[in-house]
Chains A and B, each alone.
Chain A
């Protein structure tokens, strides 16, 4: 059984007990423990269930490569899934729960899958669930849902906060082990700005566990001296608990720093995401030990040899009382020696090599440890944990194995350099024959803007170890070598995803030769593992089955992040009110004070309607439309885009941008214009006013101002750069207020004007500058409602005052502010199109009956050539019509027109759709616009619109102009 040793543990403080819960059960550890070491100290071997077969799983590693010990941490607003127990530092009150079990960790129904494992081979998703079709709903889907995913998604808003940090450094060093510390000192002494990040709370890497001395100094003293030296240098920043997640183009790197995970403190950010630009990046990320593939290697109690000695040396925790070490290299002996030194039993070291003569092996023998060479493990047996180890001849098929009683197996299959960061940005790997691992190829590094390598791997991450006095390792991909199906089908490659040796072999036999395909077919190295433990072993098995060399099979692609980073860290401060800035019109505060029901439009907030006491949104909209149609309404139209286009070539330029002729517009007049993309599709519309001989004011849609400004700049800067035109976006310089309705003129005149606002002196589609009351105003006689309407532009600073003045002056006429929905209904009653409703990026002006606004005189404009294409002139295109339901109801938005009859597949052909649909309080019925195949040629025809959940609504094709078709209301 695993337990706490009486003494030892270089990282723990026995004077500070820490209490925590695991699956609701109270347990104790010490300050300095990880959750994993504290669980082992409490004899909690079983920590989770595997993904597919729900097999009992124990802690395998002592670091971020841990595949099994994934926990749900915290509750409610601080809940977090998939936390690795091996990297979670213990704190008082920590609450952890194991994942992927149902109903309980000890008794799991899904374990039945393990009995069915021969029916759930590689690619089982693709094979099992094909047929019969009727099984999907009641069998397959519930099964997949039950077994899919590891942790649970949080259900509450995250109570913690997070931050981002942007830094530029000369050298980013990843990893605070010996190689990283040396690289940092070298760079710092050369005067570079250095950032050193270490993912654990302690620098030194494996050195204090694995090496007594460095350069003749005690290892810990060596590390402490280097850390102190770096801390004293002004050009060095050293951050622990900081994991480099990814390396990207041109020296960009992401680092996630854990600030309060180990000591919860709501006043501080939980994580900090460093966004680093580095001239050079040094990866000193060390190496990860590989498991060995023998039957039963997934039983709780089978661990990496390095992890076993980490728990003993770092935490004073023994993973077992009797540990069998199995190894293909000298490193396993370090574990045997560490266990022996802690007073624990090591019944045998099984060395797959035919002789053991390295210095470490000799030391083990001297310590009285039995060393059995040429041996491997036939299988590990036990009920939910290691009980017996069957030892066999490594070169044979497991025949004639003898048992050893043990409660722990420490396995070492050699080491793989952590090449993830090197590889993220295109660094290539080369196969190291002697060590049987991929290492960074210094000839093919990731390159920077000068085409020079910017990442350098050092130390173990580069495959460089101090191997003095060590005997060469022996690659072992199958244990024993001649193992048959029965053994290999219990030999796990990927513990987390339940991929066994036989799965990879099957995939190869089924033709999955590419390693990328095999990965996806078998799920080898997927999910949070990302090939940390399983990669090389899996590749080797695949290569063996394909009869090819490992370097020819290659590796899967290493992608960021190295280990998962929290969504909170990615979001940083950009949440809630800071997620995106809100643009406010000068009248925003009035809207807010008057119960505006808001609608987001672009980055703006516009009132959808103003709610009076106890009024529903619908009732408010109806009231607002009625007021504007019968008395006078007031609209805050300040969000409309306003672009000044000025210069000797401005007219020529606008003629290219708009489909209609703009250059011929006289000063003082307005014209409704359409803009298309070069691909012919309608992209924006609005009223253009000519302000002077060389100046035009182009109104855009609310959401379109920045986009159209950019569109104009693009053409001016990149195509017609010799044209003399300036464009300025003056949207926010002006408040714009619509005074709309039969009493509009009277309200303005009540304020006192030096302008003649009569229909004769200021006709429709003209504008004038003048004074209204105390305000400098530009008055446009334009109308989006069909009513007598003045849109008045006032300098922004005066906007609110003008709004208040209008409200006061309009009181006797019952002036009523209205929102966007009333605006929409009134424009639909008039059959005016709305960009984004009637258009969706596939609609040309001709579809909308806007041919009158497309110049036939102009030789060229953006979109003209595109609109000449065959498909654009097809008479069968869907075109704009009005739609009137037979029963007066409101058509569902987006409903399709279905042709009578069905095709061979029982489907109905679609020949149109609803683009805008409203209840019109003016006509007291539902009105709609839609695009219908040959629509305008089919006036009076009745169409069928199937509705969701069956049934259909019938509507007649009518003119889209429902209200005042002769425009009698325009002049009041």
Chain B
């Protein structure tokens, strides 16, 4: 049962307050995209042992979507941040690098 801090309202939320939203930083492919691009966007997902970026919603709280960076093995939470960015913020990446030098996740590292 994770605890994640909602970056909007600042509440340290019990997992029961949250709704999971799958992988973070997906790039939408709409009409005009190839089958491969569309498949990648809609179906292909990372399933890492270690550093992962996810979307969560503070569903039984302020209702806001946010991002979380965490380690799926150690359960360490590197941070939560705005849903309204297309890549993880620099300070969170630095924090991960300190723990996991040379990490990478999709196109990010």
Which residues of A line the B interface, CB within 8 A?
Answer: 248-250, 252, 277, 426, 446-451, 678-679, 710, 713-714, 717-719, 721, 859-860, 864-866, 868-869
B65:A719 contact, CB within 8 angstroms: no
When C-beta atoms are compared, the residue in chain A nearest to B14 turns out to be A277
Residues of B within 8 A of A446 (CB): 75
When C-beta atoms are compared, the residue in chain A nearest to B8 turns out to be A717
Among B1, B14, B32, B63, residue most surrounded by chain A Cβ atoms (within 10 Å) = B1
A717:B75 contact, CB within 8 angstroms: no
When C-beta atoms are compared, the residue in chain A nearest to B24 turns out to be A718
When C-beta atoms are compared, the residue in chain B nearest to A717 turns out to be B65
Residues of B within 8 A of A448 (CB): 75-76
Residues of A within 8 A of B55 (CB): 718
A451:B33 contact, CB within 8 angstroms: no
B42:A717 contact, CB within 8 angstroms: no
B3:A449 contact, CB within 8 angstroms: yes
B74:A865 contact, CB within 8 angstroms: no
A447:B30 contact, CB within 8 angstroms: no
Residues of B within 8 A of A860 (CB): 30-31
**B72-92 interface mask toward A, CB cutoff 8 Å, 1 = contact, 0 = none?**
011111000001100000000
Cβ distance B13 to chain A, nearest Cβ, rounded Å: 11
Q: Which of B35, B64, B76 is close to A447, meaning CB atoms less than 8 Å apart?
A: B76
B30:A250 contact, CB within 8 angstroms: no
A713 to B30, CA, bound (A): 19
B76:A449 contact, CB within 8 angstroms: yes
When C-beta atoms are compared, the residue in chain A nearest to B4 turns out to be A449
A719 to B24, CA, bound (A): 11
The verdict on B71 contacting chain A, using a C-beta distance below 8 Å, is yes
Among A249, A864, A865, residue most surrounded by chain B Cβ atoms (within 10 Å) = A865
A446 to B35, CA, bound (A): 43
A451 to B76, CA, bound (A): 4
B3:A719 contact, CB within 8 angstroms: no
A866 to B84, CA, bound (A): 25
When C-beta atoms are compared, the residue in chain A nearest to B85 turns out to be A721
The verdict on B28 contacting chain A, using a C-beta distance below 8 Å, is yes
Cβ distance B47 to chain A, nearest Cβ, rounded Å: 18
The verdict on B94 contacting chain A, using a C-beta distance below 8 Å, is no
Residues of B within 8 A of A718 (CB): 21, 55, 65, 83-84
Residues of A within 8 A of B84 (CB): 717-718, 721
A714 to B1, CA, bound (A): 23
Residues of B within 8 A of A721 (CB): 83-84
Residues of A within 8 A of B35 (CB): 869
**B25-49 interface mask toward A, CB cutoff 8 Å, 1 = contact, 0 = none?**
0001111110100100010000000
Residues of A within 8 A of B74 (CB): 447, 451
A869 to B29, CA, bound (A): 13
7 contacts between A and B (CB under 8 A): A248-B1, A447-B75, A449-B75, A451-B76, A713-B63, A865-B38, A868-B31
Q: Which of B1, B65, B71 is close to A250, meaning CB atoms less than 8 Å apart?
A: B1
Residues of A within 8 A of B42 (CB): 678-679, 866
The verdict on B2 contacting chain A, using a C-beta distance below 8 Å, is yes
B75:A249 contact, CB within 8 angstroms: yes
Closest A-B pairs by Cβ, 7 of them = A451-B76, A252-B1, A721-B84, A447-B74, A717-B65, A449-B77, A860-B30
A618 to B60, CA, bound (A): 41
Residues of B within 8 A of A248 (CB): 1
A714:B29 contact, CB within 8 angstroms: no
When C-beta atoms are compared, the residue in chain A nearest to B5 turns out to be A449
B83:A717 contact, CB within 8 angstroms: yes
A250 to B28, CA, bound (A): 33
The verdict on B99 contacting chain A, using a C-beta distance below 8 Å, is yes
A188 to B10, CA, bound (A): 30
When C-beta atoms are compared, the residue in chain A nearest to B25 turns out to be A718
A451:B64 contact, CB within 8 angstroms: no
Q: Assuming the A-B contacts A451-B76, A866-B42, A869-B35, are A717 and B64 also in contact, with contact meaning beta carbons closer than 8 angstroms in the complex? A: yes
A248 to B2, CA, bound (A): 9
The verdict on B57 contacting chain A, using a C-beta distance below 8 Å, is yes
Apart from A447-B76, A718-B55, A719-B28: 6 A-B pairs, beta carbons within 8 A: A250-B2, A718-B21, A718-B84, A860-B30, A865-B32, A865-B33
Cβ distance B50 to chain A, nearest Cβ, rounded Å: 12
Residues of A within 8 A of B65 (CB): 713-714, 717-718
A364 to B63, CA, bound (A): 70
Residues of A within 8 A of B57 (CB): 710, 714
When C-beta atoms are compared, the residue in chain A nearest to B82 turns out to be A721
When C-beta atoms are compared, the residue in chain B nearest to A864 turns out to be B31
Residues of A within 8 A of B3 (CB): 250, 277, 449
Residues of B within 8 A of A678 (CB): 42
Residues of B within 8 A of A277 (CB): 3, 14
A249:B31 contact, CB within 8 angstroms: no
Q: Which of A250, A713, A714, A865 is close to B31, meaning CB atoms less than 8 Å apart?
A: A865
Residues of B within 8 A of A868 (CB): 31
Residues of A within 8 A of B73 (CB): 426
Cβ distance A189 to chain B, nearest Cβ, rounded Å: 27
Cβ distance A636 to chain B, nearest Cβ, rounded Å: 28
Residues of B within 8 A of A710 (CB): 57, 59
Residues of B within 8 A of A679 (CB): 42
Cβ distance B106 to chain A, nearest Cβ, rounded Å: 17
A864 to B30, CA, bound (A): 7
When C-beta atoms are compared, the residue in chain A nearest to B1 turns out to be A252
When C-beta atoms are compared, the residue in chain B nearest to A166 turns out to be B14
Residues of B within 8 A of A450 (CB): 76-77
A428 to B59, CA, bound (A): 34
Cβ distance A868 to chain B, nearest Cβ, rounded Å: 7
Q: Which of B1, B63, B64 is close to A249, meaning CB atoms less than 8 Å apart?
A: B1
A703 to B35, CA, bound (A): 33
A451 to B99, CA, bound (A): 9
Among A446, A449, A719, A866, residue most surrounded by chain B Cβ atoms (within 10 Å) = A449
When C-beta atoms are compared, the residue in chain B nearest to A869 turns out to be B35
Cβ distance B60 to chain A, nearest Cβ, rounded Å: 12
A718 to B19, CA, bound (A): 14
A248 to B16, CA, bound (A): 13
A678 to B83, CA, bound (A): 19
Cβ distance A597 to chain B, nearest Cβ, rounded Å: 33
Residues of B within 8 A of A865 (CB): 29-33, 38
Residues of A within 8 A of B1 (CB): 248-250, 252
A572 to B2, CA, bound (A): 22
Cβ distance B89 to chain A, nearest Cβ, rounded Å: 16
Residues of B within 8 A of A447 (CB): 74-76
Residues of A within 8 A of B2 (CB): 249-250, 449
When C-beta atoms are compared, the residue in chain B nearest to A706 turns out to be B59
Cβ distance A252 to chain B, nearest Cβ, rounded Å: 4
A409 to B21, CA, bound (A): 58
A612 to B21, CA, bound (A): 48
Q: Assuming the A-B contacts A718-B65, A718-B84, are A451 and B31 also in contact, with contact meaning beta carbons closer than 8 angstroms in the complex? A: no
Cβ distance B76 to chain A, nearest Cβ, rounded Å: 3
Residues of A within 8 A of B64 (CB): 717
Cβ distance B19 to chain A, nearest Cβ, rounded Å: 8
When C-beta atoms are compared, the residue in chain B nearest to A449 turns out to be B77
